Structure 1
Amino acid sequence: MARYKNGINGPVSGKIGNVVGATCRGVAYLRSMSEGTAAPTQKQINQRLKFALVMGWLKPLLNIINIGYQILTGYKTSMNRAVSYHLKEAVTGNAPDYGIDFKKAIFSRGELLTSWILEVLCLVNAVLKIKWDNLPASAFNNDKDKANFIIYNPAKEAFVTFEGVALRSDKEAVLELPEDFMGDVVQAWMHYVNAEGNAVSTSVYVGELVVA
């Protein structure tokens, strides 16, 4: 915006080409007209579809992600970090039919060691039993680390979370899922949070399971 001093024809008022003249409190100004908003490109539309998919999928896990991505925040929030990762690494399919690659989903990233899964049993009445083993105890592998599990039911678009349901030293956990999950296929992940809540392991994909 430029200030205009009266010329031989006085202050400019109204539109001349792409310039608009106006007067405010006795002072004349010239400003360019704002350009109209361009229609989004197909690439922008596709990116918005991906963002909406990832954000909507992760939103129910905000509390878990706030802890799981806490050491990576910097100038970004934990959710920003999680969304950024999943946009780049975990979106699959072609527009407009995008989906999530469950094997690549990561809900926590940290330096605590993971365990290796020995067995996953799908018991009756929508109960899962998960067994694991650990490396020798260390600063990154404490018996008191709390095991968290995330279960996702794609058919019902619903998450069920189990936070601190077992200690690392227990080497097994029993998870009681909602009864209406019976007969459905679910996706499962596991990670650890230390006793203080300020350190986590990177989450691991447990697998695709049929709930009995």
Structure 2
Amino acid sequence: MGKYDKGILGAISGKVGTVVGSRWKGIRYLRSLAGPRKGVPSIAQLKQQARFALGVQFLQPIHPLIKVGYRTQIRKQSPYNAALSDLLTTIIEGEYPDYRINFERFRMSKGTMEPPLNPVVNYENNQLAFTWDNNSDTGDASADDQVLLLVLAENMWPVFDIHSFTRDNASGTINLPDVASGQQLFCFMAFVGSGDKKSVSKSTLVGTIIVP
């Protein structure tokens, strides 16, 4: 792949003959046009394709959350690609073709900021109430650090909240769609810095709740 500032006739975008011009993070590059696939995919290829497809399908609805939660992991990857890499290596389990996401091991954020202290979550009437201790005077924590909340469950569209609450609120709620009795909810929390403070805490699995 070749990187360039200007083409002979200016910037190239799209397919031109046997090359494709594009841009990534402001960097223009050229790559060769992919040829047609030859032969039948091997079992190893099918396994990798299935894992990749599951990872993309899972991350798509929480992309805005991942963009914030993985924003410190961008030296070599985008936040999305860093999260997808984690999924493929440590979170997706099972045997082909029955892969699954291990919700308990999932991470919606990665970083070194002071994490939530003594977080608790309770369920009532399709609403989750999160509480935590205000530790804004500890380490690099600040009162205005913003809260990320996420709820995952099998066969339920992910529910998340970004920036509605701050560390010094010490509580926050998130509304759920109608969920069936017996459904298991996985509830996550993290902090991110506000303003120019770009640090992020690692995510915490606050608890799992069985809907009564």
Give the TM-score category using the shorter length.
0.7 to 0.9
Whole-angstrom distance in 1 between the partners of 2:108 and 2:161? 13
The yes-or-no answer on 1:168 pairing with 2:167 is yes
Distance change >3 Å, CA 165–CA 210, structure 1 → 2: farther
% of aligned pairs identical?
Answer: 24
Structure 2: tracts of 5 or more residues without a match: 1-34
Q: Rate the CA distance shift 1:120–1:211 in 2: closer, same or farther, 3 A.
A: same
Inter-partner Cα distance in structure 1 for 2:38 and 2:194: 52
Secondary structure of residue in 2 paired with 1:66: helix
Distance 1:67 1:203 in 2: 12
- What does residue 5 of structure 1 align with? none
Q: What one-letter code is carried by the residue in structure 2 that aligns with 1:177?
A: L
CA RMSD of aligned residues (A): 2.1
**Separation in structure 2 between the aligned mates of residue 83 and residue 103 of structure 1, nearest angstrom:** 16
Q: Map 1:172-183 onto structure 2 (within 5 A).
A: 172-178=171-177, 180-183=178-181
| Structure 1 residue 136, shift from structure 2 partner | 5.8
1:97 paired with 2:98, answer: yes
The reply to whether residue 76 of structure 1 matches residue 74 of structure 2 is: no
Q: Structure 1 residues 94, 170: CA separation in 2 closer, same or farther (over 3 Å shift)?
A: same
1:117-156 aligned at under 5 Å gives the runs 117-123=118-124, 125-135=125-135, 137-138=137-138, 140-156=140-156
Q: How many angstroms apart in 1 are the aligned matches of 2:193 and 2:36?
A: 54
Alpha-carbon distance in 2 for matches of 1:35, 1:111: 45
TM-score normalised by the chain length of structure 1: 0.75
Pairs aligned (count): 176
Q: Which has the larger radius of gyration?
A: 1
